[in-house]
């Protein structure tokens, strides 16, 4: 058969292979790592009306109200708020309650190169920070309905590779922002970490890059530690990895790999939110980017994490 037909056949088989391998691969990953414990994987079906054009491509997530609500970010510059129904703590449904199209600093809708929104921080007061990997930048919104206020862009940001920059964004308890590029390693081949302290950017340290995984999401948990979600794509599917560190005055310490899945365990996980449930258990909720493709799916995936 021709090459194009072969590629289509491979893509068409990916969902079926993923479903068939999920239970086995998940158990194998948990046994190998011995840290994160799989809780659930919920496939989020697009609403039948209203959000069908923009639903998908989710690259950022924040869990609100102890797991009862979420805010998600599409890579087409759209925010969505949703309520979650749970049974025994596990997600059984997700319902979009509001969608907001992000705007530029002059009030225009984002289009083209400037549209690729990837990292999300949602503060308790509703204020938002969003990172972009097309034109590399971080923007502030009071509520997502206002015009963007773009943080200063140092010269280094302007030289980051197109479509490979700020995939992940997180805020610590002191209000400092941390962002990392997907694939723009430093001179030693590691992952540079950029920090915004409220007045300017610095690049205080890097994180070790291991085994071909690329950063796609980040968060600071309620335990104060930094969590990094990474992915790797192989022929028949995605692998995901979750690592964490303590960020200290002298740099990152106590690296732990909490999760590394086998191929096809989940779809293209890109966003992560770390929180505590009503029982005090630390959880990671992750969301997949379906690339607006019928061959992929939007998943909400949850694991419990050790303290």
Q: What is the pLDDT of residue 48?
A: 73
CA angle 118-261-43, nearest 5°? Answer: 60
Q: Which pLDDT does position 46 carry in this prediction?
A: 83
**Residue 288: closest CA among 244, 231, 245:** 231
Residues 280-297 as b or e (16 or more Cβ within 10 Å = b) = eebbbbbbbbbeeeeebb
Sign of CA dihedral 101, 104, 109, 114: negative
Determine what percent of the chain falls in helix, strand and coil, rounding each to the nearest 5: 15, 50, 40
Q: What are the backbone dihedrals phi and psi of residue 121, each rounded to the nearest 5 degrees, phi first?
A: -125, 125
Confidence (pLDDT) at 132: 97
pLDDT of residue 53: 75
End-to-end Cα spacing for the chain: 52
The range of the structural domain enclosing residue 34 comes to 3-305
Distance between CA atoms of 288 and 300, rounded to whole angstroms? Answer: 7
What global pTM score does this model have? Answer: 0.89
Whole-angstrom Cα distance, residue 262 to residue 30? 10
**Which candidate, 235, 304, 232, places its Cα nearest to that of 269?**
232
Q: Which residues of 90-104 are buried (b: 16+ CB within 10 A; e: fewer)?
A: ebeebebeebbebbb
d(CA 182, CA 191): 8
Alpha-carbon torsion 179, 293, 109, 162, what sign?
positive
Q: Comparing C-alpha atoms, which of 145, 284, 291 is closest to residue 217?
A: 284
**How many angstroms separate the CA atoms of 181 and 163, rounded?**
9
CATH number for the domain including 294? 2.120.10
In angstroms, rounded to a whole number, what is the distance separating the alpha carbons of residues 217 and 268? 11
Give the residues across from 94 on adjacent strands. Answer: 84
Total domains, the chain? 1
Please answer whether residues 96 and 84 qualify as being in contact, where contact means their C-beta atoms are separated by less than 8 angstroms: no
Q: What is the pLDDT along the chain (307 residues), one digit of tens a residue?
A: 333 333 343 444 444 444 444 444 444 444 334 489 999 999 999 877 665 678 999 999 999 999 999 999 999 999 999 999 999 999 999 999 999 999 999 999 998 888 999 999 999 999 999 999 989 999 999 999 999 999 999 999 999 998 899 999 999 999 999 999 999 999 999 999 999 999 999 999 999 999 999 999 999 999 999 999 999 998 889 999 999 999 998 899 999 999 999 999 999 999 999 999 999 999 999 999 999 998 999 999 999 999 9
Q: Where are the beta strands (DSSP E) in the chain?
A: 37-43, 58-64, 69-74, 78-87, 90-101, 117-122, 128-132, 137-141, 149-150, 166-171, 177-181, 191-196, 201-207, 214-220, 226-234, 237-248, 251-260, 269-276, 282-288, 299-305
The SS3 assignment for 21 reads helix
């Amino acid at each position: 058969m021709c090459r194009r037909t072969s590629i289509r056949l491979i893509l068409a088989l990916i969902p079926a292979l993923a479903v068939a391998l999920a239970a086995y691969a998940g158990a194998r990953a948990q046994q190998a790592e011995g840290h994160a414990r799989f809780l659930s994987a919920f496939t989020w079906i697009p609403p039948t009306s209203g959000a069908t054009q923009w639903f998908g491509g989710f690259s950022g997530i924040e869990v609100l109200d102890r797991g009862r609500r979420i805010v998600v970010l599409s890579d087409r510059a759209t925010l969505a708020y949703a309520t979650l129904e749970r049974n025994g703590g596990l997600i059984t449904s997700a319902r979009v309650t509001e969608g907001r199209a992000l705007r530029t600093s002059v009030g225009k809708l984002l289009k083209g190169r400037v549209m690729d929104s990837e990292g999300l921080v949602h503060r308790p007061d509703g204020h938002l920070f969003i990172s972009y990997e097309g034109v590399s930048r971080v923007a502030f919104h009071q509520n997502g309905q206002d015009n963007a206020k773009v943080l200063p862009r140092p010269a280094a940001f302007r030289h980051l590779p197109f479509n490979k920059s700020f995939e992940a964004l997180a805020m610590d308890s002191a209000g400092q922002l941390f962002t990392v590029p997907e694939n723009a390693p430093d001179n030693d081949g590691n992952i540079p970490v950029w920090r915004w302290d409220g007045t300017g950017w610095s690049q205080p340290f890097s994180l070790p890059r291991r085994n071909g995984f690329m950063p796609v999401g980040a968060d600071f948990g309620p335990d104060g530690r930094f969590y990094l979600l990474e992915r790797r794509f192989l022929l028949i599917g995605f692998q995901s990895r979750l690592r964490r560190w303590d960020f200290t005055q002298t740099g990152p310490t106590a690296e732990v790999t909490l999760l590394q899945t086998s191929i096809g365990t989940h779809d293209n996980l890109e966003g992560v939110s770390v929180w505590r449930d009503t029982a005090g258990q630390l959880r990671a909720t992750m969301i997949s980017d379906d690339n607006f493709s019928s061959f992929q799916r939007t998943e909400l995936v949850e694991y419990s994490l050790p303290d």
